[in-house]
């Protein structure tokens, strides 16, 4: 029997491996072996970073911005972030209330490292983004899921939040528009949950990474617009990964009370130091240049969303909430659970996504990864042709189940 020499930390063992990456790895292996895989599993825009942003990154390298910067990011970029908050929302932040991090994901990581003590509970509305619960756990906290109802378009439900809250609740996640559902939280729900947070002193972590990518006529409701008095207990998480198609540049940012940002800077100073210097200059160009890029992308996504949702809804037994933002559809396939193909029973979302991959050569992400096993996530940040072909294959695969 082989015995590993190096034992692993308990904190690693409590974190599940990412099912997103597992599907991706299998899809890549099949593709490498020559299979004609249609990939709907990727969580990034199918647009290139705008040319003026790339130019700014190259220019930064040529001008020698290749050394360490201030840990929370170059002051110009933090100023530009403050400016955007003022222009886009009317919010007042100063640069000591801003941290630039190595992607939005790392900003979230810093937040929980800075505020949680062992046993602190964090409310996580589910379906949730895959990384939320592990980030809480890695900081010693306990994620507590708050189930959202598909029939209510996955809106936040204040009654369920109240039922899940305890004396140990320290924080709540808001992600609107949401990954994976594309849903937007209503003003009414935000107000009710915001009042609870005010009374009980919870930290609100508002992940606004998809805020510029909506399909609504009316403005996106935001917790700080609904209850501005929450500013002292809210951290805004945002970044350029989605809005400017800059996932590989790794620039995200957080805004919140100065003492919390200072604590997050301490964590960042002892882990990554500053985010990549040239990438900060590219992000500066993105945030200070023309702001129409996210709109151009969402205009391209809109007909794809409309086709995807109506085609999914036309399948017997399948339901799909129409996403108000982001670029994912999250259909419910649970009516097909319990059916079989060639004697193999499909019991859950992992088996369903696996079946789509094997039989339809369609890569998706099982809902279990997002804490919602009835569903499977597809990204529509891909071409209309791919979506049409993918839907044909999905319909055929579902029809083959008995």
Ligand X SMILES: *Cc1c(COP(=O)(O)O)cnc(C)c1O
**Residue 275 beta carbon to ligand X: minimum distance, rounded to whole angstroms:** 10
Q: Going edge to edge, which strands form the sheet with 328-329?
A: 328-329, 376-379, 365-366
Residue of 16, 107, 37, 54 lying closest to 246 (CA atoms) = 54
Contact 100, 70 (CB under 8 A): no
**Residue 325 beta carbon to ligand X: minimum distance, rounded to whole angstroms:** 11
- 103 touches ligand X (CB under 6 A): yes
- 334 touches ligand X (CB under 6 A): no
Q: What is the DSSP letter of 274?
A: S
Q: Which stretch binds ligand X (CB under 6 A): 103-111, 278-286, 344-352, 392-400?
A: 103-111
Q: Which CB atom, from 21 or from 29, has the smaller least distance to ligand X? A: 21
Q: Which stretch binds ligand X (CB under 6 A): 98-106, 317-325, 332-340, 379-387?
A: 98-106
Grouping H, G, I as helix, E, B as strand and the rest as coil, residue 151 is: helix
Q: Which of residues 27-56 bind ligand X (CB under 6 A)?
A: 43
Q: Which residue is nearest to ligand X (CB)?
A: 103
**Cβ neighbours of residue 114 closer than 8 Å, sequence gap 6 or more:** 260, 263, 264, 266, 267
Angle between helix 75-89 and 277-288 (nearest 10): 30
Q: Which CB atom, from 130 or from 318, has the smaller least distance to ligand X? A: 130
**Residue matched to tokens 């350029």:** 240
Report d(CA 367, CA 359) in Å as an integer.
Answer: 19
CA angle, residues 178, 181, 183, in degrees to nearest 5: 60
**Cβ neighbours of residue 189 closer than 8 Å, sequence gap 6 or more:** 155, 156, 157, 158
Which one of 113, 247, 265, 361 is in contact with ligand X (CB under 6 A)?
Answer: 247
Report d(CA 104, CA 238) in Å as an integer.
Answer: 6
Which one of 85, 129, 253, 330 is in contact with ligand X (CB under 6 A)?
Answer: 129
**Residue 105 beta carbon to ligand X: minimum distance, rounded to whole angstroms:** 3
Which one of 125, 158, 252, 256 is in contact with ligand X (CB under 6 A)?
Answer: 252
Termini Cα distance of the chain: 43
Which one of 170, 231, 242, 305 is in contact with ligand X (CB under 6 A)?
Answer: 242
**Residue 247 beta carbon to ligand X: minimum distance, rounded to whole angstroms:** 5
Q: Which CB atom, from 213 or from 227, has the smaller least distance to ligand X? A: 213
- 179 touches ligand X (CB under 6 A): yes
Q: Which CB atom, from 105 or from 170, has the smaller least distance to ligand X? A: 105
Lookup: tokens for 25: 């790895």
Q: Which CB atom, from 98 or from 315, has the smaller least distance to ligand X? A: 98
Q: Which stretch binds ligand X (CB under 6 A): 12-20, 59-67, 149-157, 234-242?
A: 234-242
Q: Applying CB under 6 A, what is the total number of residues that bind ligand X?
A: 14
- 241 touches ligand X (CB under 6 A): yes
Which one of 73, 104, 127, 278 is in contact with ligand X (CB under 6 A)?
Answer: 104
Q: Which stretch binds ligand X (CB under 6 A): 18-26, 238-246, 303-311, 338-346?
A: 238-246
- 182 touches ligand X (CB under 6 A): no
Q: Which CB atom, from 49 or from 361, has the smaller least distance to ligand X? A: 49
Cα 228 to the center of its chain, rounded Å: 24
Contact 294, 212 (CB under 8 A): yes
Cα-flanking dihedrals φ and ψ of residue 226, to 5°? -70, -45
Which one of 97, 155, 207, 211 is in contact with ligand X (CB under 6 A)?
Answer: 207
Side-chain half-sphere of 372: how many Cα atoms within 13 Å? 26
- 110 touches ligand X (CB under 6 A): no
- 133 touches ligand X (CB under 6 A): no
Report d(CA 100, CA 275) in Å as an integer.
Answer: 7
The site for ligand X (CB under 6 A) is made up of: 43, 103-105, 129, 175, 179, 207, 209, 239, 241-242, 247, 252
């Amino acid at each position: 029997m082989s015995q590993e020499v190096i034992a692993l930390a308990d904190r690693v063992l409590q974190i599940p491996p990412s099912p997103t990456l597992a599907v991706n790895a299998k899809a890549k292996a099949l593709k490498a072996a020559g299979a004609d895989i249609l990939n709907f599993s990727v969580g990034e825009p199918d647009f290139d970073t705008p040319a003026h942003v790339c130019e700014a990154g190259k220019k930064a390298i040529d001008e020698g911005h290749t050394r360490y910067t201030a840990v929370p990011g170059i002051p110009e970029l933090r100023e530009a972030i403050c400016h955007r908050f003022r222009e886009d929302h009317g919010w007042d932040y100063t640069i000591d209330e801003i941290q630039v991090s190595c992607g939005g994901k790392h900003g979230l990581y810093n937040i929980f490292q800075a505020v949680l003590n062992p046993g602190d509970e964090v409310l996580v509305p589910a379906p949730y983004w895959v990384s939320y619960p592990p980030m809480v756990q890695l900081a010693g906290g306990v994620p507590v899921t708050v189930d959202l109802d598909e029939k209510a378009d996955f809106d936040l439900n204040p009654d369920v939040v109240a039922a899940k809250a305890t004396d140990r609740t320290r924080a709540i996640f808001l992600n609107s528009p949401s990954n994976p559902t594309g849903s937007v939280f209503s003003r009414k729900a935000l107000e009710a949950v915001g009042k609870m947070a005010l009374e009980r002193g919870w930290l609100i972590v508002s992940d606004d990474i998809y805020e510029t990518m909506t399909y609504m006529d009316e403005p996106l409701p935001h917790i700080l617009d609904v209850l501005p008095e929450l500013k002292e207990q809210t951290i805004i998480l945002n970044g350029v990964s989605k809005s400017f198609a800059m996932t590989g540049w790794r620039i995200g940012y957080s805004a919140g009370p100065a003492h919390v940002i200072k604590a997050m800077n301490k964590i960042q100073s002892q882990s990554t130091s500053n985010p990549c210097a040239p990438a900060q200059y590219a992000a500066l160009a993105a945030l200070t240049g023309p702001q129409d890029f996210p709109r151009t992308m969402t205009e391209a996504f809109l007909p794809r969303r409309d086709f995807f949702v109506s085609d999914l809804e036309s399948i017997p037994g399948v339901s799909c909430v129409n996403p108000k933002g982001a670029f994912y559809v999250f259909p419910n396939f649970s009516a097909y659970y319990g059916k079989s193909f060639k004697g193999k029973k499909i019991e859950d979302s992992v088996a369903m996504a696996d079946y789509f991959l094997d039989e339809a050569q369609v890569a998706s992400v099982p809902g279990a990864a997002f804490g919602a096993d009835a569903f499977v996530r597809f990204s529509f940040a891909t071409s209309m042709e791919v979506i049409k072909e993918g839907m044909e294959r999905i319909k055929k695969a579902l029809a083959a189940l008995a």
